[in-house]
A and B are shown apart, each in its own frame.
Chain A
Amino acid sequence: MAFRFGIAVFPGTWSDRDCAHAVGLTGAEAVFLWHADKELKGADCVILPGGFAHGDYLRAGAIARFAPLMEAVAEHARGGGLVLGICNGFQILCEAGLLPGALLRNRDLQFRCQDTTLLVEPTDSPFLATIASGSRLRIPISHGEGRYFADPATLAGLERGHQVALRYCSPDGDLDDAHNPNGSLSHIAGIVNEAGNVLGMMPHPERVCEPLLGSEDGLRLFGSVTTGLAAAGR
């Protein structure tokens, strides 16, 4: 049976179809999960995609976290199931308490859509299992509220527990302000929960899965999920 990604659709979600297209390139199956249902349709990994769920007029993700679907997603995550939040999905995971911290408005208060280079940090997570730490991925961002923030104790905990998965860096791998596109604390672009089965990231891996679109680095991430689980004897 093919690996199955369940892709959440909230009113206002827009990278649902992009994610379905991208995971399809790995040979996996994609099913859409409607926000008002509590049904995960047997998904091995749930993706909360990018967009502006419910318009995000209040605070990004603040309303989506109350969706019936999110109860099922939280239960899936508690049981060790894989959850990937991309952009708005990351914001929703933070609002839902499945990941610590918050995503604030970008440093210069403007929306940013641009390429970024991401440094892969050593984490124990199936999402990055087949990508060596220290690798660099070229994946674009597209957000207005992506500045990661957490209180000092939370941040220290994340660093100690190797939960920082991805950081914005220069093409050579240096961490500096010039290559931190939104002012994120400690250059954080993505984090995992303590168990490593929930990953939230602001960049959009689904946009770079084909040479025609400039890079296949996103495919490495989706591929890591499917091959990682296969290797775990699923």
Chain B
Amino acid sequence: MSAPSVSELREIALTQQEYERTVEILGRTPNRLELGMLGAMWSEHCSYKTSKPLLRQLPSAGSSVVLGPGENAGVIDLGGDLLCCFKIESHNHPSAIEPVQGAATGVGGILRDVFAMGARPVALLDAIRFGDPGEPLQRHRFARVVEGIGFYGNCIGVPTVGGETYFDESYAGNCLVNAMCVGIANRHQLVRAVAAGVGNPVLLVGADTGRDGIHGATFASVQLDDSAEERRPAVQVGNPFLEKCLLEACLELCGHEALIGLQDCGAAGLTSSCAEMAHRGGVGIELDVAKVSRRELGMTPYEVMLSESQERMVLVVARGREAEVQRVFDRWQLRSDVIGSVIAAPELRILDSGQEVGALPLEVLVDGFLERHPESRRPELVDRARLEEPLLLNPPWSPEESWLRLLRSPNCADPRWIFRQYDHQVGDDTVVGPGGDAAVLRFKGRSDGIAMTVDGAHRSAALYPFVGTEMAVAEALRNLAVVGAEPLAITNCLNFGDPDQPDVMWQLTEAVGGLAEAAGALAIPVVSGNVSLYNDFRGAGIPPTAVIGMVGRVQRPGTAPGMGFRNAGELVVLLGGLGATLTGSEYQRLAHGAVTGPMPQLDLAAEAATARAVWELVDRTILSSAHDLALGGLAVTLAECCVAGGVGAKVGLPLPPPPDPLPGWAHGALFGETAGGYLLSLPKANLPILQEVCALHRVEWDVIGEVGGEMVEVSGLASISLSVASSVTGEALPSLMARP
């Protein structure tokens, strides 16, 4: 075969240098099929060639970790017979082009990663980001992504229990859709994605193979541009019904001794699933593409090997027991084809009706790529923006006006419009569903449960990717703490722009450093994750967006007090102090646009201590409500507690104003963010217990006010009526989405 042209190499996302490397290490010129397989496997999406050197810093060990990164999903021990498998993954580019199917297949893919481990998926969460929803295209994308998530999750019968939605102009060209799935397995049902036993048959089960999604993995590894619409054929179409049958059939087989290994067929299709299974097992796989059931006529071996048709799984089965396994799939009316077998030679060998059409050593296919170390440089713009003091700017609106604008902002508004479209209860285990800080699920037949949350880095990460990512970890920790959960492990999805831009590489390096630092200091292992690079549109990258999924253990799932204030006369307590800054805050976004200003370091030791105090307070059931201080600062958090509980409150600041305040001082105190703080309420009689617990954990606390009345008030600074706050935040999304 003659050397491929530049445009052919671009199509499979191999550089000239990488092509030359394949020729050198193979000692021959790869044919077109082999080149296609190499292109997919060496793509950023499959190989993590740019991020891998950074990801090695992440702590992945811990006493509860059963399986860390490298498998389909991370696995942690829940004690007794139960294991928890979970992972988050992006489906950003497909969702930008075809939002319903892009989001739906993102959900379908992450579900397969979890049931491939033998775990029954029990919960889904989503982190999604779009441009300004005031614009019709962004509104359309947002509405259709929500529809797609619901379409898949609702139909397959896995509850969508939580998520995070964020809007900012910087996501207008490239939306983010990150889906997380949590599954529960019995210990003896855990399955590995490993091929073993020479001569054992390899089965492909589920959907027929079509031309959809060819080069999906490479598509995910290049920038979006105006011609992206033409790539719609690279977006797959989901069939949640088929996946439901596939899920039930696979779970029936998990724990069955005839099943040796199980792997989902995701990015790079059969190529990646077979290569990875064989490589993990130190064996090879030979498969015949003619034995693969097709949806379309005339498919070439190249197309069969790179198809990303959804709802397919690859199984390795004990020789002679194919019929037992196939009976299970027959019962669920699913196709199962024996397409090949395990071989001793460590290679992926492809036949077409018995004729060899390609063969690649697995160490080349899976591990042969060169790790990349693109240049990393902090842009000068960042240095300049860091020096500007946001409090020097004159606020455009009064404190009250700002407060209402924040409550109306789709980022702070009541998210009910979104989650009422998701079945969040199926499975009968949802104790705390969406709309709170973290979701809580119980285990039937046990007294304990699990809590889970997803939290993404906020705007400050654009200037401070290290601290901004640490803050996402800390926020996840706080969200778990208020429902009484002790963190067990992290999954993460790193959404970044083009790493060949030095500023993006700097962001990625800093963000991974921040994640490693926070996870290490808080002793929460990172057990799974996904990296999504090239999130650019017309050369402009998205802000650095690390999304953290965190799972924790709850001793008694019924103890979460909720965020809403309950009873007039109860005390409002600020825990952890108010070290707020306007840098990167939602107020700064609305009032001034750009992200500017200094950023304090995050005190991770204090975060850990405060979280421990909060678990203990929740566990002792002395609180009437608990909520962490997040977007919109003290004022918005206070309003959320009041609106959720249907009762007002009057609080004061824990510190007096400075003698000569800057113009934005009041706004900074009301709407400043970043502090590791919590807003709690409790009956006066319980205060001594709070005092005792806070003293034990050395946590700062202040009684800042009282629950009651019809107003939401921060003394001396601003007050708004509860009914206005309630209708403003409740009506914001429905009225926005009712626009044509």
A and B together in one complex: yes
- Chain A positions near chain B (C-beta within 8 angstroms): 11-12, 14-15, 17-18, 21-22, 50-52, 54-57, 110-114, 140, 142, 144, 204, 206-207, 211-213
Task: Quote the shortest CB–CB distance from B483 to chain A (angstroms).
Answer: 14
10 pairs, CB–CB < 8 Å, chain A vs chain B:
A50-B426, A52-B155, A52-B241, A55-B241, A56-B241, A110-B421, A113-B154, A142-B154, A144-B154, A213-B425
Q: Is B168 an interface residue (CB 8 A)?
A: no
Q: Is B444 an interface residue (CB 8 A)?
A: yes
Known pairs A55-B239, A211-B558. 5 more at Cβ < 8 A?
Answer: A14-B157, A14-B426, A52-B154, A56-B241, A110-B421
Whether A54 lies near B241 (C-beta < 8 A) is yes
Q: Please give, as numbers and ranges, the residues of chain B lying within 8 Å of A113 by CB-CB distance.
A: 154, 419-425
Closest B residue to A53 by CB, please name it.
B241
Task: Quote the shortest CB–CB distance from B671 to chain A (angstroms).
Answer: 31
Q: Please give, as numbers and ranges, the residues of chain A lying within 8 Å of B245 by CB-CB distance.
A: 11-12
Task: Quote the shortest CB–CB distance from A23 to chain B (angstroms).
Answer: 12
* Bound form: Cα–Cα A232–B27 in Å: 84
Q: Is B333 an interface residue (CB 8 A)?
A: yes
List residues of B (131-159) whose CB comes within 8 Å of A's CBs.
147, 150, 154-157
Whether B428 lies near A206 (C-beta < 8 A) is yes
Whether A12 lies near B244 (C-beta < 8 A) is yes
* Bound form: Cα–Cα A49–B540 in Å: 49
Whether B427 lies near A18 (C-beta < 8 A) is yes
Closest B residue to A55 by CB, please name it.
B241
Q: Is B431 an interface residue (CB 8 A)?
A: yes
* Bound form: Cα–Cα A56–B430 in Å: 25
Contact among A11, A18, A21 with B241 in the assembled complex (CB-CB below 8 Å): A11
* Bound form: Cα–Cα A55–B333 in Å: 13
Closest A residue to B419 by CB, please name it.
A113
Q: Is B240 an interface residue (CB 8 A)?
A: yes
* Bound form: Cα–Cα A17–B426 in Å: 10
Given the known A-B contacts A14-B157, A55-B240, are A212 and B431 also in contact in the complex, defined by CB atoms under 8 Å? yes
Q: Is B442 an interface residue (CB 8 A)?
A: yes
Whether A212 lies near B425 (C-beta < 8 A) is no
Contact among A14, A52, A112, A212 with B421 in the assembled complex (CB-CB below 8 Å): A112
Whether B244 lies near A21 (C-beta < 8 A) is no
Q: Please give, as numbers and ranges, the residues of chain B lying within 8 Å of A12 by CB-CB distance.
A: 155, 241, 244-245
Q: Please give, as numbers and ranges, the residues of chain B lying within 8 Å of A211 by CB-CB distance.
A: 558
What's the dominant secondary structure at chain A's contact region? Answer: mixed
* Bound form: Cα–Cα A15–B154 in Å: 11
* Bound form: Cα–Cα A214–B425 in Å: 11
Number of interface residues of B (CB under 8 A): 30
Q: Please give, as numbers and ranges, the residues of chain A lying within 8 Å of B419 by CB-CB distance.
A: 113
Given the known A-B contacts A18-B427, A142-B426, A206-B428, are A111 and B244 also in contact in the complex, defined by CB atoms under 8 Å? no
* Bound form: Cα–Cα A52–B152 in Å: 11
Task: Quote the shortest CB–CB distance from A186 to chain B (angstroms).
Answer: 23
Task: Quote the shortest CB–CB distance from A148 to chain B (angstroms).
Answer: 20
Whether B155 lies near A55 (C-beta < 8 A) is yes
Contact among A18, A56, A144 with B428 in the assembled complex (CB-CB below 8 Å): A18
Q: Is B557 an interface residue (CB 8 A)?
A: yes
Q: Please give, as numbers and ranges, the residues of chain B lying within 8 Å of A213 by CB-CB distance.
A: 425, 428, 430-431
Q: Please give, as numbers and ranges, the residues of chain B lying within 8 Å of A15 by CB-CB distance.
A: 157, 426
Q: Is B166 an interface residue (CB 8 A)?
A: no
Q: Please give, as numbers and ranges, the residues of chain B lying within 8 Å of A207 by CB-CB distance.
A: 425-426, 428
Q: Please give, as numbers and ranges, the residues of chain A lying within 8 Å of B421 by CB-CB distance.
A: 110-113
* Bound form: Cα–Cα A144–B240 in Å: 15
List residues of B (411-436) whose CB comes within 8 Å of A's CBs.
419-428, 430-431
Give the interface centre of B155, B424, B444 by most chain A CB atoms within 10 Å.
Answer: B155
Task: Quote the shortest CB–CB distance from A108 to chain B (angstroms).
Answer: 10
Q: Please give, as numbers and ranges, the residues of chain A lying within 8 Å of B239 by CB-CB distance.
A: 55
Give the interface centre of A110, A204, A206 by most chain B CB atoms within 10 Å.
Answer: A110
Q: Is B19 an interface residue (CB 8 A)?
A: no
Contact among A18, A22, A55 with B426 in the assembled complex (CB-CB below 8 Å): A18
Closest A residue to B242 by CB, please name it.
A55
Q: Please give, as numbers and ranges, the residues of chain B lying within 8 Å of A51 by CB-CB distance.
A: 157
Closest A residue to B434 by CB, please name it.
A113
Whether A112 lies near B244 (C-beta < 8 A) is no
Whether A112 lies near B156 (C-beta < 8 A) is no
Q: Please give, as numbers and ranges, the residues of chain B lying within 8 Å of A111 by CB-CB distance.
A: 150, 154, 421-423
Contact among A57, A140, A212 with B558 in the assembled complex (CB-CB below 8 Å): A212
* Bound form: Cα–Cα A170–B231 in Å: 49
Whether A204 lies near B425 (C-beta < 8 A) is yes
Annotate B492-525 by CB proximity to A: 1 below 8 A, 0 otherwise: 0000000000000000000000000000000000
Whether A14 lies near B244 (C-beta < 8 A) is yes
* Bound form: Cα–Cα A157–B444 in Å: 43
Closest A residue to B157 by CB, please name it.
A14
Task: Quote the shortest CB–CB distance from A55 to chain B (angstroms).
Answer: 3
Closest B residue to A16 by CB, please name it.
B157
Closest A residue to B160 by CB, please name it.
A113
* Bound form: Cα–Cα A150–B154 in Å: 26
Whether B425 lies near A142 (C-beta < 8 A) is yes
Q: Please give, as numbers and ranges, the residues of chain B lying within 8 Å of A54 by CB-CB distance.
A: 241
Q: Please give, as numbers and ranges, the residues of chain A lying within 8 Å of B240 by CB-CB distance.
A: 52, 55
Whether A114 lies near B428 (C-beta < 8 A) is no
* Bound form: Cα–Cα A204–B424 in Å: 13
Closest B residue to A109 by CB, please name it.
B147
Q: Is B167 an interface residue (CB 8 A)?
A: no
Closest A residue to B248 by CB, please name it.
A11
* Bound form: Cα–Cα A204–B557 in Å: 22
Contact among A14, A17, A21, A206 with B156 in the assembled complex (CB-CB below 8 Å): A14
Task: Quote the shortest CB–CB distance from A13 to chain B (angstroms).
Answer: 8
Task: Quote the shortest CB–CB distance from B680 to chain A (angstroms).
Answer: 23
* Bound form: Cα–Cα A110–B422 in Å: 10
Q: Please give, as numbers and ranges, the residues of chain A lying within 8 Å of B147 by CB-CB distance.
A: 110
* Bound form: Cα–Cα A207–B424 in Å: 11
Q: Please give, as numbers and ranges, the residues of chain A lying within 8 Å of B332 by CB-CB distance.
A: 11
The 3 closest A-B pairs by CB, nearest first: A14-B157, A55-B241, A18-B428
* Bound form: Cα–Cα A112–B734 in Å: 14
* Bound form: Cα–Cα A208–B677 in Å: 35
Task: Quote the shortest CB–CB distance from A73 to chain B (angstroms).
Answer: 20
* Bound form: Cα–Cα A170–B241 in Å: 35
Q: Please give, as numbers and ranges, the residues of chain A lying within 8 Å of B241 by CB-CB distance.
A: 11-12, 52, 54-57
Whether B156 lies near A212 (C-beta < 8 A) is no
* Bound form: Cα–Cα A83–B136 in Å: 47
* Bound form: Cα–Cα A226–B557 in Å: 30
Closest B residue to A36 by CB, please name it.
B331
Annotate B231-242 by CB proximity to A: 1 below 8 A, 0 otherwise: 000000001111
Closest B residue to A57 by CB, please name it.
B241
* Bound form: Cα–Cα A12–B248 in Å: 10
Q: Please give, as numbers and ranges, the residues of chain A lying within 8 Å of B242 by CB-CB distance.
A: 55
